[in-house]
Amino acid sequence: MNTSLNDDDLILRAQRGEKEAYGLLVRAYMQPAYYSALALVGSHDEAMDLSQQAFIRAWMAIRKFEVGRRFFTWYYRILRNLCLNRLRDRASQAAPMAHFDHVLDVADDEQDPSLEADRALLRDRVRTALGELRPEEREIIVLRDFDEHSYAEIAELLECPLGTVMSRLYYARKHLKDLLEDLS
């Protein structure tokens, strides 16, 4: 989504107090915000709640935003902190993340029942393994492999060097692979 030129105008208007302009920003980013939160906390209700809380906090701090920067990057840091705080406060780990199902669905004209059963089993294993990853591991895998962000975009979102992104992704994928092998 390349809306940065339009974002700058909306942000300037929002900084002047125009709630309608901020509402347009919210509408533009509510889906990626929800999926980002869901990837971290694993719960639909919590993801909805946290993404809304983050938008409220962003609105309250919009005057501090530097026009010309990417809104979603700034917003994502607010959202990420809220999600990580929620995870720290929560006693148990996140539930399996059903929103990843579409990634494993492959169209098949013949609808072979054994292939469907294999896909369902694989989908369950991946969902279970993702749920067992640490939030930071799950986050970087989702950002790269599900949301298809570039390494540079992930580095910007997580405020870390490109090499760190590559290293974290390598170890997160390795951990996911180990978990999947244990589930086999």
Distance CA 34, CA 71 (A): 15
Do 85 and 42 lie in a common domain?
yes
On the CB side of 96, CA atoms within 13 Å amount to 10
| Number of domain units in the chain | 2
- CATH code for position 34: 1.10.1740.10
Q: What pTM value is reported for the model? A: 0.71
pLDDT in tens, 126-169: 888 888 888 889 989 988 988 888 999 999 999 899 999 999 99
Domain boundary residue, one of 49, 68, 89? 89
Tell me what pLDDT residue 182 has.
Answer: 87
The closest alpha carbon to 37, from 92, 94, 91, belongs to 94
Tell me what pLDDT residue 104 has.
Answer: 46
| pLDDT band with cut points at 50, 70 and 90 for residue 119 | confident
Mean pLDDT score of the chain: 84
Domain boundary residue, one of 49, 65, 89? 89
Q: Cβ distance 26 to 58 under 8 Å? A: no
- Residue bearing tokens 């992704």: 169
The closest alpha carbon to 40, from 91, 1, 76, belongs to 76
Distance CA 39, CA 143 (A): 9
Higher-pLDDT residue of 174, 113: 174
Do 85 and 102 lie in a common domain?
no
Q: Which residues pair with 69 in a beta bridge?
A: 67
Dig out the tokens for 134 from the structure. 């640490």
Do 77 and 126 lie in a common domain?
no
Do 84 and 32 lie in a common domain?
yes
Do 21 and 76 lie in a common domain?
yes
Question: Does the structure show a pLDDT above 50 at 92?
Answer: no
Do 20 and 84 lie in a common domain?
yes
Do 116 and 66 lie in a common domain?
no
Domain region containing 22: 4-89
Q: DSSP readout, 95-129?
A: PP-GGGHHHH----TT--HHHHHHHHHHHHHHHHH
pLDDT in tens, 26-48: 999 999 999 999 888 888 999 99
Distance CA 78, CA 121 (A): 36
5-9, 16-20, 180-184: which is most confident? 16-20
Do 79 and 106 lie in a common domain?
no
- CATH code for position 122: 1.10.10.10
Question: Does the structure show a pLDDT above 80 at 116?
Answer: no
The dihedral built from the CA positions of residue 141, 144, 147 and 148, taken in this order, carries a sign that is negative
Burial 72-94 (b: 16+ CB within 10 A, else e): bebbbbbbbebbeebbeeeeeeb
Higher-pLDDT residue of 100, 151: 151
Determine the longest span between alpha carbons in the chain, in angstroms: 59
The closest alpha carbon to 74, from 88, 59, 85, belongs to 59
